[in-house]
A = this chain, B = another copy of it.
Amino acid sequence: MPNPTAAMLVIGDEILSGRTRDSNLHHLARALTDHGIALKEARVVSDDHDAIVAAVQALSARWDHVFTSGGIGPTHDDITADAVAAAMGAAIDVREDARALMAAHYARTGSELNEARLRMARIPDGAVLIENPVSVAPGFSIGNVHVMAGVPSVFEAMVAGVLAALQGGDPLLSLSLQVQRPEGDIAGPLRDLAARYPDLDFGSYPYNRNGVSGANVVVRGTDGPRVNAAMAELAALFPEGVA
């Protein structure tokens, strides 16, 4: 069975303006790879209703899972929950289970569950809550779309919760060889090797350190013996390589 596929949708003007450097994509990419889910595409859109709706619909139709980050806080520009509900054709309002979670939390901490905070209890009909062990306001899953916060500590905790409940695939294995030779000298032999292992992925990532050119060559696949065999051939081609 092929591994499940996924896409990520990052929502937030602050990423596109360069104010904030996104770290959630990299975290999710690693977590999905470890879980045997293949991340196939990512998009970043601004805090714009129509842009979020269009991206959610395109990605959820195309891939097995969609993971979103950002736009579920208390401020006027946090519009992700309503946009995802619209994209999935679901009604949305303050939901009692989410409201109760937040009321209990704010009662404990002595803050007011005001109108702004109540926005964070807006959950589409039919959605399942995603626990937020950091700051309580939950995410949610509706259909194949998992809606999570943008604050990295909260995002990471929510990803762990969602993945624990998701069927993964065979873990994607990866071996790499650092070859201190210009990539243009590696490319020919690498192409011929890749042609003989069509079931594996071969990547080459050039670097230049202190004027010395080289590349990290990576072999990826789900079949351990095949990955090992390809790496053995690669190491024979480039005996100066360092694993």
Contacts and interface: CB of A to CB of B under 8 A. Distances in A.
- Copies of this chain in its oligomeric complex: 2
A16 B184 CA distance: 24
A188 to B, nearest CB: 5
A64 interface: no
A31 B40 CA distance: 27
A77 interface: yes
A220 B17 contact: yes
A51 B44 CA distance: 16
Interface string A149-190: 001010000000000000000001010000000111111101
A198 to B, nearest CB: 12
Contact of A13 (B13, B73, B185, B203): B203
Nearest to A28: B18
B39 A76 contact: no
Contact of A114 (B40, B134, B184): B184
A201 B13 contact: yes
Interface in A78-131: 111-112, 114-117, 119-120
A135 B214 CA distance: 13
Contacts of A116: 184-188, 191
Given A183-B75, A191-B75, A14 B172 contact: no
Interface stretch (A139-147, A204-212, A226-234): A204-212
Given A73-B206, A111-B184, A188-B114, A17 B29 contact: yes
Looking at A15, A174, A187, which has the most chain B CB atoms within 10 Å of its CB? A187
A26 interface: yes
Interface in A25-55: 25-26, 28-33, 38-47, 51
Contact of A187 (B15, B29, B74, B134): B74
Top 4 A-B pairs, shortest CB-CB distance:
A116-B187, A18-B29, A18-B30, A117-B184
Interface of A: 13-22, 25-26, 28-33, 38-47, 51, 73-77, 111-112, 114-117, 119-120, 134-135, 151, 153, 172, 174, 182-188, 190-191, 194, 201-208, 218, 220
17 contacts: A15-B25, A16-B42, A17-B33, A17-B39, A22-B25, A22-B26, A41-B43, A41-B44, A73-B187, A74-B183, A75-B204, A76-B191, A76-B194, A111-B182, A116-B187, A134-B208, A151-B208
